[in-house]
Each structure stands twice: as structure tokens, then as C-alpha cells.
Amino acid sequence: MSLRRILEDLVSGRISVEEAEKRIKLYSLENIEDIVRFDLGREVRRGVPEIVFAEYKSCGLLERIIDRILDRDGRVILSRLRDEHYGLIERYSREYDVLVNRVGRIAVIRRKGYAVKETGGRVGVVAAGTADIPLAEEARVIVEELGCRTTCVYDVGIACFLRTLDAVKKLVKEDVDVAIVIAGLEGALPSVIASFLDIPVIGVPASKGYGLGGRGLSALFSMLQSCTLGVLTVNIDNSVGAAVAAALIANRVARYRNR
């Protein structure tokens, strides 16, 4: 059933507003060549657009996915891009607004005139070291596409505690609703940051480090075992999951703050 048919049934009185809402939330699963099934109604239900994980997709398949989502939604977010994807994405700049962040390996393509609605949500994004900045930038772009304002503080690992305290002060000054904190090695930064704040802290263990546990396991275990209450942990390098969770929290806070 198409969205148009649902709206026609609503206008004609054949279905109620409640029934129309339910159908809209369920209608938009689409197949692309029986390979990809996209939940194009996710933004209607959750306020979260489809974020395409591009890393293992060919340019040809990625192009078909982009075209389908742009046709339906007017915007597509592409994460974990490979070098060969950038040429394809740049070709869309002739007809669309294109934002490319090579550091974060992420891009956003929007229909001309598409405006991201600011929600009033406030999210802090903190990176322990310069090696963690790609994950931080990926999170920042997604959080901002979900309508939030970001406060970013990079290279503030606990090896120099004064920098960590400066980061805490900035988050307090900007009155953020939630913080994403990315760290590799021993992964202690989220626990330290959370010990100073009265907001949820989402820890992202980064796959940066040395030797045993150096691909993010040590950081993951450290964050999971945090003795600082209020630290939530996502999987290794899962800055996308952290960004969406942070935006959902911040947008919920903003909704009630603005009432």
C-alpha cells in the first residue's frame, strides 16, 4: 500500500487518524534487487533516518540505494565510506547539497532546500586522542543531522589531566544534555568525565592501542566495568550507535525543556 493510498483513505473517512498513523509507521519497507531491505519509515516512527553502512557496498549498489532514498526522503546519510565512494558522491553535487567529511568517512546528501530542523538538543562529543577524532567526527555529523547542537572537545585524554578538566568545564558551560566520550587504550576517559557531570555519558571504546587488547577490547572491558554510575557503553568503534542514542536522549530533553 502506498502512502498516497493511506492519505486518500484518511481524507475519505475510510480509516481513522489512529489507523492512518499505524499504517504509515508500517508501510515503508522496501527491497532493492532482493539484496537490501531498507526501513524507510524509521524516521516517521523514531525520528531517526536510515543511515547507510557503505563500507562493504559496491559503488553500483550504493548508487541505487542513494537514488531510492533521495527519491523517497530527500536526504541520505552514508557512513564508513571507502575511497572509491567519494567520486560517486561528488557527482550528486550538481543536483543536491552534499556534505562530505573525509575524516569521519561520512557524507550527507540532501535535496536542494532541505532544512534540518533544530530541536534544541545539546550533545557533547569528546575524543581522548587525535586517533579517536574520526569516530568523533562521524558521531558529530549524525548528531547534527538529527537536529542537535554539538559541543566538541578533542585530544583531552587523561594522560594530561588538566586537559580533561578543561573538557569537563566546557561541557558544563554549554549545558549539554548527554555526552559521547570516545577513548582507546585503557578507555578510562568516560568514567572520569562522568564523575564530574550529572548527565548520561555514552562511552565508545576505540580500536586504538598497543598489544594485548589493543583493538579496543581493553577499552571495552574498562568501560563496561566502570565504577562511575551513569556510564553507558556501546560496541567497539560504534560511534553511529552512540550518536543516535545521544540524539534521542537530547531531543527528548529538549522537547520537555521547550514546553
In the chain the domains, ranked by start, together with CATH numbers, are 12-111 (no CATH), 122-257 (3.40.50.1970)
pLDDT tens digits, one per residue of 2-28: 566 778 888 999 889 988 877 776 655
> What mean pLDDT do residues 105-111 have?
95
- Asked whether the CA dihedral 159, 160, 163, 167 is positive or negative, the reply is positive
Q: How far apart are CA 247 and CA 66, in angstroms?
A: 23
Instruction: Say if residue 1's pLDDT is above 50.
Output: no
> What percent of the chain has pLDDT above 70?
89
pTM of the model: 0.82
Q: How far apart are CA 235 and CA 51, in angstroms?
A: 17
pLDDT bin (cut points 50, 70, 90) of residue 218 is very high
Of 6, 53, 58, the closest CA to residue 27 belongs to 6
With beta carbons less than 8 A apart as the criterion, state whether 223 and 205 touch.
yes
- Burial of 204-219, coded b for 16+ CB within 10 Å and e otherwise, reads bbbbbbeeebebbebb
Q: What is the chain's mean pLDDT, rounded?
A: 89
Instruction: Say if residue 40's pLDDT is above 90.
Output: no
Q: How far apart are CA 127 and CA 136, in angstroms?
A: 6
